[in-house]
Amino acid sequence: MKFPTVRPRRLRTNKIIRDAVAETALDPSDFIYPIFVKEGPGREAIPTMPGQHRWPVGEELIKHVEEALALGVNKFILFGVVPEEQKDPHGSRGYDPEGPVPKALRLLKETFGDKILLFADVCLCEYTDHGHCGVVKTTGGRWHIDNDETIKLYAKEALVYADAGADFVAPSGMMDGQVAEIRKALDAHGFHHVGIMAYSAKYASAFYGPFRTAAASAPKFGDRRTYQMDPRNAHEALKEVAMDLEEGADIVMVKPALAYLDVIRLVKQHYPWAPLAAYNVSGEYAMVKAAAAAGYIDERVVTLEILTAIKRAGADLILTYHAPEAAKWLKDGTPF
Ligand code: PBG
């Protein structure tokens, strides 16, 4: 391919030809919108995530979902927030049928039926008093997470969410065997139709900072490096994904997205048949919001560029707090 016979710029002459040859098309149907649901009345703004709120389970939440739906966003993932005094070492509010997530699932399913798809995050960190994603044991003065006891609680939690109407449960705790344990429990109780979106390659990332403030789920001691993946590893993601697929995951995930585009690409190349989600996490969202507020970047173009890049890398679905805004911006076409 040689100049002057070949001139790549001919295909960039104007927007019509650029649109015609674009390799990647971003669409609101790619998005899963994460929503925080809480106890009690009144929505609360989340200071670390401008534009995001903790929603009470009621009219305000219905209206918020309705507005997103009108923009073409029809997939939602729910996270629960409970007051500190309701937390305990085993995170029992997480598998309480009267907790905020099951209540929200029931309300939204009653209201919207099959017009929306509901995912429920399955983890314990929002509900444990120590903030870890599992059961903490101390032996010889050293703490560790009891993997096998924890996945039993995840299965219990998944059953409560399935019973409340979740279309998919999404285990995010990075315990070994969590997908198999949940699949087994769902099948044993007749929930064959409920799917699993596994947080397969979830890295121990500082990009989760704003979320932990939003959900009050930061660990009170230690960190999550004994269960979440090491940011230095890409190929290990293939092992996690292989195991999750074998254990019955319907959708696998890479998280975070932006600093892990190589991992998204790697997983897509090795498992082209597996639906792949990527989580555009709270820290990625907060950075864009902060830079936009300071006037350093154009939020619309930067956001659509980031989401397009995540899709180009190989993601089929993108969990993003920008979902409703991005859907609105896409109505005016792409900025490229
Ligand atoms: C719970 C969970 C976390 C996120 C999703 N599920 C936090 C964590 O692992 O500490 C992060 C989401 C985000 O940052 O947007 N285990």
The length of the chain in residues reads 336
Pocket (CB within 6 angstroms of ligand 1): 121, 123, 125, 133, 172-173, 208, 211-212, 217, 281-282
- Indicate the average pLDDT of the chain: 97
| Ligand 1 atom 2 nearest Cα | 172
Task: Report if residue 16 sits inside a domain.
Answer: no
Q: CATH no. for residue 240?
A: 3.20.20.70
Looking at the structure of the chain, the number of domains it has is 1
Task: Report if residue 1 sits inside a domain.
Answer: no
Q: Does residue 322 contact residue 299 with C-beta atoms inside 8 Å?
A: no
- The residue range of the domain holding 58 is 24-330
| Ligand 1 atom 8 nearest Cα | 208
Task: Report if residue 31 sits inside a domain.
Answer: yes
Q: Residue 105 — pLDDT band, cuts 50, 70, 90?
A: very high
Task: Report if residue 6 sits inside a domain.
Answer: no
pLDDT digits (tens, 9 = 90+) for 25-79: 999 999 999 999 999 899 999 999 999 999 999 999 999 999 999 999 999 999 9
Q: Residue 216 — pLDDT band, cuts 50, 70, 90?
A: confident
Could you give the CA distance from residue 187 to residue 193 in angstroms, rounded to a whole number? 9
- What pTM value is reported for the model? 0.97
Task: Report if residue 245 sits inside a domain.
Answer: yes
- Region 129-155 average pLDDT: 96
Task: Report if residue 259 sits inside a domain.
Answer: yes
Task: Report if residue 146 sits inside a domain.
Answer: yes
Residue 22 Cα to ligand 1 midpoint, Å, equals 33
The pick from 217, 253, 310 for probing ligand 1's pocket by mutation, whose C-beta has the most ligand atoms within 8 angstroms, reads 217
ipTM over 0.90: yes
Ligand 1 atom at minimum distance from 173 CA: 16
Q: Which of 30, 74, 26 is nearest to 330 (CA)?
A: 26
Ligand 1 atom at minimum distance from 321 CA: 15
- Region 142-160 average pLDDT: 97
* Residue 183, marked binder: no
Q: Which residues make Cβ contacts (< 8 Å) with residue 156, sequence separation at least 6?
A: 95, 185
How many helices and strands (H and E) does the chain possess? Answer: 11, 12
Task: Report if residue 13 sits inside a domain.
Answer: no
